[in-house]
């Protein structure tokens, strides 16, 4: 992360939510939890997760590796961040499947910089599924979109060659940063890579924008506090668990 970057909020939106303005957040009235439903079109994918399907159907452990950034965490509570919520939701859906999840943070790294360590991470963790969250740092640094697309494609290809399923997660949405960074070129290029390599793309940007527009969360406010951070992460974790489960095309009976 660049301390002098005017778009630093884009990376630290949820990593810093819990730490921003704690006194004011504690005194503010707490809004009731929102349903944070996700329209079906934002969770639909034609791409499959065959390694996940095979592991679940054959009773083998499901090992998940999340490669993320600061927005994969909540500084005050790792158990409240979306990877932990994803794990809890998947365990509830698949109680007979041993599931392990690890998180590798690559804070401040572009997709190209992350490429250099992806295979080492796979060798160390031997995941069935790699969930790769990327794009924000590239957008902040104004990396050439074509170079970004190439780096993401190289990373996905390497992960698939190593034997892992892949889910891509795009940028997080913040209305306060729309005038600071240009997200569309990076969102579009991640869609291109997802189609090229037939990997599911979890549209975090579109989902969060929907929640903001629907009034589930006020993502424009500068005073979020820890409660909102935890609620957003909980919603993302549940949505991602459904996305993974559906992309693996698991039968409803396998939820029990």
Q: Would you say residue 28 lies in a domain?
A: no
Tens-place pLDDT, residues 201-244: 999 999 999 999 999 887 776 556 678 888 999 999 999 999 99
Query: Mean of the pLDDT values across residues 15-44?
Result: 58
The pLDDT-based confidence of 70 (bands split at 50, 70, 90) is confident
> What is the rounded distance in angstroms from the CA atom of residue 9 to the CA atom of residue 85?
23
Q: Would you say residue 121 lies in a domain?
A: yes
pLDDT at 79: 83
Report DSSP state, residue 177.
G
Q: Would you say residue 183 lies in a domain?
A: yes
pTM given for the model: 0.85
| Burial classification of residue 220, based on how many CB atoms lie within 10 Å of its CB (0-12 exposed, 13-18 middle, 19 or more buried) | exposed
Q: CATH number of the domain that 195 lies in?
A: 3.40.50.1110
Q: Would you say residue 29 lies in a domain?
A: no
Q: Would you say residue 34 lies in a domain?
A: no
Query: Mean of the pLDDT values across residues 159-188?
Result: 93
Assess whether pLDDT exceeds 60 at residue 2: no
Q: Would you say residue 255 lies in a domain?
A: no
pLDDT at 254: 58
- % of the chain exceeding 70 in pLDDT: 81
Q: Would you say residue 2 lies in a domain?
A: no
The values of phi and psi at residue 102, to 5°, are: -125, 155
- Domain count for the chain: 1
pLDDT at 253: 58
Lowest mean pLDDT among 16-20, 63-67, 124-128: 16-20
Query: Mean of the pLDDT values across residues 120-136?
Result: 96
> What is the rounded distance in angstroms from the CA atom of residue 222 to the CA atom of residue 13?
10
- Angle (CA) 132 134 135, round 5°: 155
Assess whether pLDDT exceeds 50 at residue 30: no
Q: Would you say residue 35 lies in a domain?
A: no
Q: Which domain holds residue 134?
A: 8-22+40-249
pLDDT at 28: 40
> What is the rounded distance in angstroms from the CA atom of residue 44 to the CA atom of residue 140?
28
> What is the rounded distance in angstroms from the CA atom of residue 148 to the CA atom of residue 134?
10
Assess whether pLDDT exceeds 70 at residue 104: yes
């Amino acid at each position: 992360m660049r301390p002098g970057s005017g778009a630093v909020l884009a990376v630290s939106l949820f990593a810093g939510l819990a730490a921003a303005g704690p006194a004011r957040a504690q005194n503010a009235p707490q809004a009731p939890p929102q349903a944070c439903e996700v329209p079906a079109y934002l969770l639909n994918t034609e791409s499959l997760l065959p390694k996940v399907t095979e592991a679940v159907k054959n009773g083998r452990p499901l090992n998940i590796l999340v490669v993320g950034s600061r927005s994969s965490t909540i500084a005050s509570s790792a158990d409240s961040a979306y990877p932990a919520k994803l794990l809890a939701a998947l365990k509830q859906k698949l109680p007979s499947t041993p599931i392990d999840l690890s998180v590798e943070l690559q804070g401040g790294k572009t997709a190209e910089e992350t490429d250099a360590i992806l295979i080492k991470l796979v060798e160390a963790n031997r995941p069935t599924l790699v969930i790769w969250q990327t794009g924000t740092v590239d957008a902040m640094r104004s990396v050439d979109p074509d170079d970004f697309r190439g780096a993401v494609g190289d990373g996905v290809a390497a992960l698939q060659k190593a034997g892992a399923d892949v889910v891509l997660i795009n940028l997080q949405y913040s209305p306060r940063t729309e005038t600071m960074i240009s997200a569309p070129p990076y969102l579009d290029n991640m869609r291109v890579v997802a189609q090229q390599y037939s990997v599911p793309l979890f549209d975090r940007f579109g989902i969060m924008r929907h929640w903001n527009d629907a009034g589930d969360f006020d993502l424009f406010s500068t005073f979020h506090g820890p409660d909102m951070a935890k609620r957003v992460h909980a919603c993302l974790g549940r949505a991602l668990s459904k996305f993974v489960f559906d992309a693996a095309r698991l039968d409803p009976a396998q939820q029990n």
